[in-house]
Amino acid sequence: MSGGRTARTSALTVLAPAVWGSTYLITTEFLPPDRPLLASTLRALPAGLVLLLFTRTLPRGGWWWRAAVLGVLNIGAFFYFLFLAAYHLPGGVAALVMSVQPMIVLLLGSVLLKDPVRPAHIGACLLAATGVAMLVLQPHAGLDGVGVAAGLLGALSMASGIVLTKKWGRPEGVGLLAFTGWQLTVGGLVLLPVTLLGEGLPDHLTRANAGGFLYLGVVGALIAYALWFRGLSRLPALAASFLSFASPLCATVLGHLFLDQSLRPQQLLGAAAVVGAVVLAQPRGRGASAARPGASPTAYGRSVTRLGRDETGGS
């Protein structure tokens, strides 16, 4: 893949975590209070079911358990640990704990994908973690053991999902939307009983609530995850992982624009460090997305031969 095409792929993929960064604003301004699990379930399950009905494609053979694993890691478990951390930690501390995700991807990728660990990768991880700390960490932020553990498990869950998605690719003949629908449906079904037991259903919903849930389901799940999994099929796992730093960056900018949250010089410097780390971690030059040495051709080869079909999401 040429450098220009790689840059365009990164630009499209980063839209997904940028959209996820708007979740905080949508939640506080449009959704009913204290319903994080309900928001997660309604973000995942309806979108997944719509995609299944649209594509009419179900997993076959070994892809039943693979789709289940990916759905739990990328959606269900990740959402649960994310909100558990948010309940026990200040938002800045939770974001800082979650910023270890690229480091986990770096380690898992070296073992499962045989990706080489380069000094630039380690430097990008350290630069990004420092930038996130400067961006979101507030003075006198409290630490909580349960919250820290949940944040680390959430980072491990998403990192594992990224690496396994890269390792397994997609089954032959299955389009991007069907693949996305499998995972959203599995994640939503995992979250549904937890939501019903932990929060129950609201007595009523306002128009603002309905609009917020619609945004989370259509933009925050259906569109964003389709872009995300498209990017994972074309970018190295570590490069895609670094794009997730757009989430706290976008949340900070939206808070400044719409919630009158001030931006200190330290935060602006942290944002610059995050952007620099993301750019440093992206592949460059011709062959940046080449197949991994010694890797099976299935995942990479199918992603190349289905470029045209992926653009439309056809199955």
For residue 253 the two structure tokens come to 């900018």
Res. 292 pLDDT band, cuts 50 70 90: very low
Res. 159 pLDDT band, cuts 50 70 90: very high
Distance CA(8)–CA(174), nearest Å, equals 23
Res. 130 pLDDT band, cuts 50 70 90: confident
Residue 132 pLDDT greater than 80, yes or no: no
User: For 220, which DSSP code?
Assistant: I
Res. 141 pLDDT band, cuts 50 70 90: low
Residue 299 pLDDT greater than 80, yes or no: no
State the Rg of the chain over Cα: 19
Distance CA(158)–CA(78), nearest Å, equals 6
Map residue 223 onto helix, strand or coil: helix
Whether this prediction's pTM lies above 0.75 is answered by yes
Map residue 296 onto helix, strand or coil: coil
Distance CA(197)–CA(222), nearest Å, equals 26
- pLDDT per position as a tens digit, 192-235: 999 999 888 888 899 999 999 999 999 999 999 999 999 999 99
Res. 140 pLDDT band, cuts 50 70 90: low
The per-residue pLDDT for 218 is 94
Torsional sign, CA 130, 257, 94, 37: negative
Distance CA(180)–CA(232), nearest Å, equals 12
Calculate helix-pair angle for 77-88, 145-168, nearest 10 degrees: 160
Measure Cα distances from 266 to 125, 138, 272 in Å.
19, 11, 10
Which are the contacts of 154, defined by CB distance < 8 A and separation ≥ 6?
77, 78, 81, 82, 84, 85, 98
**pLDDT, mean of residues 63-74:** 96
Note the residue count of the chain: 315
Residue 311 pLDDT greater than 70, yes or no: no
